Amino acid sequence: MAKKHRKRKQKNEKRHRETAAFLFALLTLLSSYALVVPASGMIGEAFANLMFVMFGGGTYVLPFLFLRYFLIYIKESRESYSRLNFVYATGCVIFASAAFTFLKSMDFVLKVPDGGWFGDKIYLFFERLFGNWGAFVASISIFIFFATRFLRISFSSIFKLFLPNKEENVDFQASQIPNSKIKKNDKIYEPTNKENTVNQNTTPNIISKEEVPDPSTKRPAAIANESKTKKIDSATFPYKLPNTNLLEVDKAAVLKASKEELFQRAQLLKKTLQDFEISAEVKDIIPGPVLTRYDLLLAPGIRVEAISNIINNLSLAMRTASIRVVPIPEKSAVGIEVPNPKGAVVGLRGILETEGFSSAKSLLTLALGKTTDGAGYITNLASMPHLLIAGATGSGKSVGIHTIILSILYKARPDEVKFMLIDPKRVEMPLYKDIPHLYNPCCAAADADIIIKPEESALALKKLVDVMLKRYSKFADNSVRNIEQYNAKMEETGGEKEFYVVVIIDELADLMLVAKKEIEDSIQRLAQMARAVGIHLILATQRPSVNVITGIIKANFPARLSFQTTSKIDSRVILDTQGAENLLGKGDMLFLPPGEARPVRLQGAFVSLKEAEKIIDFINDQDFPRIYEPPEIAVEASAGFTAQGSRIMHDEKTAKAQKDKKIEADFIMALKLMKERCGISQDLLKANFGSSAKAANLLSLLDRDGFISKPKGTNRWQINYDKIDDYLSKIS
């Protein structure tokens, strides 16, 4: 059904685009005819007279604008579309009219039309500001600006056409003098016989078969070994880390509540506890950005469970959605976290500018958010060494993933940390598709992209295991134990360092449904061994069930991060304790560091899409070379998995297709049965299909698709016979 709906939507979009292209082509012809031919009929003359009164000579620009719109809609590229097209087109006509007003005022020999009403007004305004010729220059300049924006013409590309290309000159000189020494980019290249031969094992992103130079020209080895040259230069590339000025300033990091208000709420909390015969004294009041924690000293003999049993009564008395009770052993107190009447938004900039983040030496430093007392919380992914994230829809899980990625981008160069991003949902990660930090062990650096298909994800994780084993062999040859020691040794000897790899899977549940065995096996091996070689995993899911987060996965992920969950069971699966179901959402989280017994409550940092785009644009504008060596292990992306993995995937897909086909057949049979009996019930379906579970499933499918409905206040199904007839007629 979804596939048919998508095809119908694409078909409608294509039809609308073709209709718009036809209308603009017709407007182009009719406007040209009305402006050029004097006797163009009543409608043509009326159109020409109206346009000349409004825009004067600028009217002659209209056919060209209509022609441009025709090309936009006939071309199936979204790059040509812009919401500002109408503004640019209107600006072209108006400021062209102002230029014609100037030409009319100069009394040229040739007969020049005036500028119309708009042209006279604009020209008069500019003439008062800049004088006669200044008004003309201003009008022409603004007209050129709007025209270039509307036509998608870049000034930089025009200027580059007239500037000499130094690289081409050097290469031309090298081709003419193959045996000479050439100085290029402050380095001396001395071509040899080996360099003049084309290397057949060059990575595909550097030289393809079409780019192999003619042997008669004898070009130098700097082109044949382009990958190697760029890789050496990338270490000295003048890359700049993003500045915090790209992020918005925190408006209110901590709620500024008065002492009287906090004291009144503390007294209300104390009085409510006394009403339930719980004697306690308020020791500390710690206000935070979203909630305030009241530390209570309980009277002797009062159990902590007594407060937990009346948590709903406390929420009602404090007029809040949810309250969380947490023991504080270091104070011998009980903390009651009460949401503030108005929460403040925690920005990422305030955390990045803290001393803890700026002084952190680890390249995998994460700025997760702020604690309940408003202090920035900084942690290190390398010490976790892997992170498991869960949270319901709308709880802030996707924003938290963006915060983690941007935190690392503020610390690491592209040749120091690489991201392997897996996004089965295809909507969260495309923002990072062009950054030089991307990594895919199945392809060269130039071809690395966001991985969206489950089959490609399983293959990439399997190849990442091979990369891990290869690194272990390399570390053993150099007598080092981990990536830190290896990079330190390479820095002393002048060798090439290894980069960290951070694998982020945005929705693990989708991958586990398609290829559970391959995904789980690869994740298990990476989680057990990949820490020492600089490979770290971040797994996120909105459905933390035992089928997705299995015991094998949980055993190797000591660090957990939970946003608001839908039930206590989900909270126990991700944190091994309750509490996540009482979170407030919108970035409210519980973080369980490795080795800790109790989770820490944090308010996650918020990063808007506009802020993330600024950081990505800043990184991409530097044109850092996307270079890394693909693994020497043969990779056949088109072949998919190994023989065993391919067979398993084929069997799973075949079984799923057969299951879907069987469900569709039962669904059609249920529709026919419902139409024949003029009624529907679970007992009727059970009698015909032989299973209560199948009958309940068919009822839910019929209700979901709108074939049946149950009005409020009744317990009888209402049948939509018209929709049943339409559906059966389409499939027949």
Is residue 355, in this structure, part of any structural domain at all? no
Give the per-residue pLDDT at 171: 43
Verify that 434 and 393 share a domain, yes or no.
yes
Q: Residue 43's pLDDT is what?
A: 79
Q: How many CB atoms lie under 10 A from the CB of residue 698? A: 25
Q: Are residues 482 and 426 in the same domain?
A: yes
CA 464 – CA 518 distance, rounded (Å): 13
Q: What percent of the chain has pLDDT over 70?
A: 79
Does 16 have pLDDT greater than 90?
no
Contact indicator for 149, 92 with CB cutoff of 8 Å:
no
Q: What is the pLDDT of residues 317-329, one digit of tens each?
A: 888 888 888 888 8
Domain-terminating residue out of 560, 590, 624: 624
- Is 577 domain-assigned? no
Confidence of residue 475 (pLDDT cuts 50, 70, 90): very high
Domain count, the chain: 5
Residue after which a domain boundary falls, among 159, 185, 211? 159
Paired residues of 500 in beta bridges: 417
Structure tokens at 223: 């082109």
Q: What is the pLDDT of residue 2?
A: 45
Q: Give pLDDT, residue 661.
A: 67
Domain match, 335 and 476 both: no
CATH value at residue 332: 3.30.980.40
pTM of the shown model:
0.57
pLDDT per residue over 350-377, tens digit each? 899 999 999 999 999 999 999 988 889 9
Confidence of residue 108 (pLDDT cuts 50, 70, 90): low
Going through 290-340 in order, the beta strands assigned E by DSSP cover 291-298, 324-328, 333-339
Stretch (H or E) spanning 379: strand 376-380
**Dihedral over Cα of 684, 689, 695, 697: its sign:** negative
Please report, rounded to a whole number, the percentage of residues in the chain having pLDDT higher than 90: 25
Task: Tell me: do 199 and 323 sit in the same domain.
Answer: no
Q: Which of 675, 157, 70, 625 is nearest to 62 (CA)?
A: 70
Q: Is residue 365 part of a domain?
A: no
Give me the sign of the Cα torsion angle 562, 567, 573, 579: positive
360 is a domain residue: no
Which pLDDT belongs to residue 514? 83
pLDDT at 223: 34
Q: Which residue has the higher pLDDT, 401 or 342?
A: 401
The Cα–Cα gap between 214 and 210 comes to 10
d(CA 155, CA 144): 11
What's the pLDDT at 160? 55
Contact yes or no for 68/28 (Cβ under 8 A) = no
- Average per-residue pLDDT for the chain: 78
Mean pLDDT, residues 375-384 taken together: 92
What is the pLDDT, as a whole number, of residue 428?
83
What mean pLDDT comes out for the span 572-596?
88
Confidence of residue 551 (pLDDT cuts 50, 70, 90): confident
CA distance 409 to 356: 17
Q: Residue 504 has what pLDDT? A: 95
Same domain, 55 and 172: no
Sorted by sequence, the CB contacts under 8 Å of residue 232 that are 6+ apart come out as none
> Is 179 found in the same domain as 147?
no
Same domain, 220 and 198: yes
Taking only the tens place, the pLDDT of each residue in 624-635 is: 888 776 555 444
**Burial 179-196, CB ≥16 within 10 A → b, else e:** eeebebeeeebebeeebb
Do 101 and 20 fall into the same domain? yes
Whole-number pLDDT of residue 217: 39
Side-chain half-sphere exposure of 20, counting CA atoms within 13 A: 16
CA distance 429 to 457: 14
Is the pLDDT score of 47 beyond 70? yes
Start-to-end Cα distance in the chain: 16
Whichever domain contains 662, its CATH number is 1.10.10.10
Q: How many residues does the chain have?
A: 732
- Is the domain of 28 the same as that of 102? yes
Comparing 134 with 369, the larger pLDDT belongs to: 369
Which CATH number is 456's domain given? 3.40.50.300
**Cα–Cα dist 714/716, whole Å:** 6
| Backbone Cα Rg of the chain | 34
Domain-located, residue 426: yes
SS3 287: strand
Clarify whether residues 152 and 195 are in a common domain: no
Could you tell me which of 517, 518, 536 has the C-alpha nearest to residue 526?
A: 536
Given a cut of 90, whether residue 450 has pLDDT beyond it is yes
Amino acid (one-letter) located at 244: T
Q: Please list the residues that pair with 421 across neighbouring strands.
A: 504
Residue 589 domain-assigned (yes or no): no
Model confidence over 661-699: pLDDT tens digits? Answer: 667 788 888 888 888 888 888 888 877 777 777 787 888
pLDDT of 489 strictly over 70: yes
State the Cα–Cα distance between residues 448 and 460, nearest whole angstrom: 11
**Region 61-77: what's the mean pLDDT?**
74
Whether residue 502 is found in the same domain as residue 539: yes
Residue 536 forms beta bridges with which residues?
502
Task: For residue 359, tell me if it sits in a domain.
Answer: no
Beta-bridge partner residues of 559: 387
Confirm whether 639 is domain-assigned: no
Q: Determine the structural domain holding residue 203 and report its residue range.
A: 166-233
Largest Cα–Cα separation, the chain: 107
Distance CA 238, CA 251 (A): 34
* One domain for residues 449 and 509: yes
Q: Considering only CA atoms, which of 128, 148, 147, 126 is closest in space to residue 138? A: 126
Is the separation of the CB atoms in 353 and 346 below 8 Å?
no
